Chain A
Amino acid sequence: MSAKTDLAVTMCGVRFRNPFILSSSPVSNSAEMVEQAYEHGWAGVCYKTLNSGSIPMIHPTPRMAVYDYEGKREVGLQNVEQISDRPLKDNLADFRYLKKKYPDRPIIASIMGFSNDEWAFLAKAAADNGADMLELNFSCPHMTVEGSGHKVGQAFSLCEKFTDTVKKVVRIPVLAKMTPNITDMTEPAIFSKKGGADGISAVNTFRGISSIGLDDLVPHPNVFGVGAMSGYSGAAIKPIALHFIAEMAQCPELGLPLSAMGGVETWVDALEYLLVGATVVQVTTGVIKYGYRIVEDMIEGLADYCEAKGIRKAADLVGKALPNLKTTDHFDLARQGIAQYDLDRCIGCGQCFIVCRDAGGQALEWQQKRRRPKLVEEKCLSCMICSFICPVPSLISFKEMPKDWKRKPTRVMAPEMIDSVKLQGGTT
Chain B
Amino acid sequence: MSVTGSFTTMETGFGLVQALAEADRCLLCHDAPCSKGCPAETDPGTFIRKLRLRNVKGAIRTIKTNNALGGACGVLCPTSRLCEKECSATGIVRPIAIGKIQRFLVEHAWQIGFEPLSRGPSRREKVAVVGSGPAGLSCAAELAKEGFAVTVFEERSEPGGVIRWGVPAYRFDKAFLANEMATFENLGVKFACNKRVDGAEGAKKLLADGFSAVFLGPGLWAAERLTGAEKVKGVRTSVEFLAALRGKGLDALAKEVAGKTVAVIGGGSVAMDCVESALKLGAKDAYLVYRRSFAQMPAETDERVAALELGVHFLVLNQPVKYLADGKGKLKGLKLVRTRLGKPDASGRRKPEPIKGSEWVLECTAVVEAIGNRADATDWSAIVKTDDAGLVVANRKTGKTSSRKVFAGGDIVRGPALVVEAVQDGKLAARAIGAALSQEVKA
- Which A residues contact B (CB, under 8 angstroms)? 70-71, 347-351, 353-354, 366, 368, 371, 391-392
Most buried by B among A351, A368, A371, A391: A391
Q: Report if A351-B20 is in contact (Cβ < 8 Å); known contacts: A371-B33, A391-B92.
A: no
Q: Is the CB of B20 within 8 A of A349?
A: no
**Main DSSP-derived SS at the A contact region:** loop
Q: Which one of B21-29, B151-159, B310-318 is at the A interface?
A: B21-29
Offer 7 A-B interface pairs, CB within 8 angstroms, sorted by A: A347-B89, A347-B90, A347-B91, A350-B30, A351-B29, A351-B30, A391-B92
Q: Are B21 and A351 in contact (CB-based, < 8 A)?
A: no
In addition to A70-B52, A347-B88, A354-B30, 11 A-B residue pairs with Cβ atoms within 8 Å of each other are A71-B20, A71-B21, A348-B29, A348-B88, A349-B88, A349-B89, A350-B29, A351-B30, A371-B33, A391-B92, A392-B91
Q: B31 is contacted by which of A71, A366, A391 (Cβ under 8 Å)?
A: A366
Given contacts A391-B92, A392-B92, whether A351 and B31 have CB atoms under 8 Å apart is no
CA distance A70 to B49 in the complex (A): 12
Q: Which of B1-48 contact A (CB under 8 A)?
A: 20-21, 23-24, 27-31, 33
Chain B nearest CB: distance from A75 CB in Å? 13
Contact (Cβ within 8 A) B92 A366: no
The answer to whether A350 touches B31 (Cβ under 8 A) is yes
Q: Which residue of A lies closest to B28 (CB)?
A: A351
> A70 to B51, alpha carbons, bound, how many Å?
10
Identify the closest chain B residue to A354 (Cβ).
B30
Shortest CB–CB separation between residue B38 and chain A, in angstroms? 17
Within 86-118 of B, Cβ neighbours of A (below 8 Å) are at 88-92
Do A353 and B30 touch (CB < 8 A)? Answer: yes
A70 → B minimal CB distance (Å): 5
A70-B30 in contact given A347-B92, A391-B92 (Cβ < 8 Å): no
**Are B52 and A349 in contact (CB-based, < 8 A)?**
no
Give bound CA distance, A349 to B92, whole Å: 11
A45 to B160, CA, bound (A): 67
Nearest-CB distance from B19 to chain A (Å)? 10
Shortest B304–chain A CB gap in Å is 28
Q: Which residues of chain B have C-beta atoms less than 8 A from A347's C-beta?
A: 27, 88-92
Closest to B18 in A: A71
* Residue numbers in A under 8 Å from B92 (CB-CB): 347, 391-392
The docked-state distance in angstroms from the alpha carbon of A161 to that of B264 is: 90
Chain B hits for A392, CB < 8 A = 91-92
**8 nearest interchain CB pairs?**
A350-B30, A347-B91, A71-B24, A349-B27, A71-B21, A349-B88, A349-B29, A70-B24
Report yes or no: A368 in contact with B21, Cβ–Cβ below 8 A: no
Q: Which residues of B242-278 are within 8 A (CB) of A? A: none
Which partner residue on chain A sits nearest B22 by CB separation? A71
Give complex CA distance A392, B92 in Å.
7
| Least CB distance, B27 to chain A, in whole angstroms | 4
- Cβ contacts under 8 Å, A70 to chain B: 20, 24, 52
In angstroms, Cα B52 to Cα A303, docked, is 39
- Give Cα A347 to B30, complex, Å: 12
Measured between beta carbons, the chain A residues less than 8 angstroms from B20 are 70-71
User: Smallest CB-CB separation from A368: which chain B residue?
Assistant: B31
In the assembled complex, the Cα of A366 lies from the Cα of B24 at a distance in Å of 24
A349-B33 Cα distance, complex, nearest whole Å = 9
User: With a CB–CB cut-off of 8 A, which chain A residues contact B23?
Assistant: 71
Q: Which of A71, A348, A349, A353 has the most CB of B within 10 A?
A: A349
CB contact under 8 A between A349 and B30, given known A70-B52, A391-B92, A392-B91: yes
Question: A371: which B residues are within 8 A, CB to CB?
Answer: 31, 33
Closest to B19 in A: A71
Nearest B-chain residue to A348, judged by Cβ: B88
Are the CB atoms of A349 and B28 closer together than 8 Å? yes
Query: How many angstroms from the CA of A44 to the CA of B23 in the assembled complex?
Result: 42
Proximity bits, B373-403, A CB within 8 Å = 1, else 0? 0000000000000000000000000000000
CA distance A354 to B31 in the complex (A): 10
CB-defined contacts of A348 to chain B, threshold 8 Å: 29, 33, 88, 91
Residues of A within 8 A of B28 (CB): 349, 351, 354
- Chain A residue with Cβ nearest B91: A347
In the bound complex, what is the Cα–Cα distance between A353 and B31 (angstroms)? Answer: 10
In the assembled complex, how far is the CB of residue B246 from the closest CB belonging to chain A, in whole angstroms?
Answer: 38
Chain A residues near B24 (CB, 8 Å)? 70-71
Q: Would you give the shortest CB distance from A370 to chain B, in whole angstroms?
A: 11
With a cutoff of 8 Å between Cβ atoms, the chain B residues found around residue A351 in the complex are 27-30
A391 to B29, CA, bound (A): 11
Complex interface: chain A residues within 8 A of B30 (CB): 349-351, 353-354, 366
Alpha-carbon distance between A371 and B23 when the two chains are bound, in angstroms: 22
Report Cα–Cα, A347/B94, bound state, in Å. 12
In the assembled complex, the CB of B342 is this many whole angstroms from the nearest CB of chain A, namely 40
In angstroms, Cα B116 to Cα A87, docked, is: 59
Docked Cα-Cα span, A350 to B92, in Å, equals: 14
Min distance, Cβ B51 to any Cβ of chain A, angstroms: 11
Q: How far is the CA of A372 from the CA of B382 in the complex (A)?
A: 53
**What residues of chain A lie closer than 8 Å to B52, measured between beta carbons?**
70
Min C-beta distance of A352 to chain B, whole Å: 8
Task: Please give, as numbers and ranges, the residues of chain B lying within 8 Å of A71 by CB-CB distance.
Answer: 20-21, 23-24
Question: Chain B residues with Cβ under 8 A from A349's Cβ?
Answer: 27-30, 88-89
List B contacts of A353 (CB < 8 A): 30
How many whole Å from B25's CB to the nearest CB in chain A?
8
Tell me the residues in window 49-99 of chain B with beta carbons closer than 8 Å to chain A beta carbons.
52, 88-92
A70 to B28, CA, bound (A): 14
Contacts of B27 in A (CB 8 A): 347, 349, 351, 391
- The smallest C-beta distance from A369 to any residue of chain B, in angstroms, reads 11
* Cα–Cα distance between A193 and B27 once the two chains are bound (Å): 51
Near A by CB (< 8 A), chain B positions 272-288 give none
CA distance A170 to B258 in the complex (A): 85
**A347 to B90 CA separation, bound complex (whole angstroms):** 8
Q: Which chain B residues lie closer than 8 Å to A354 at the CB level?
A: 28, 30
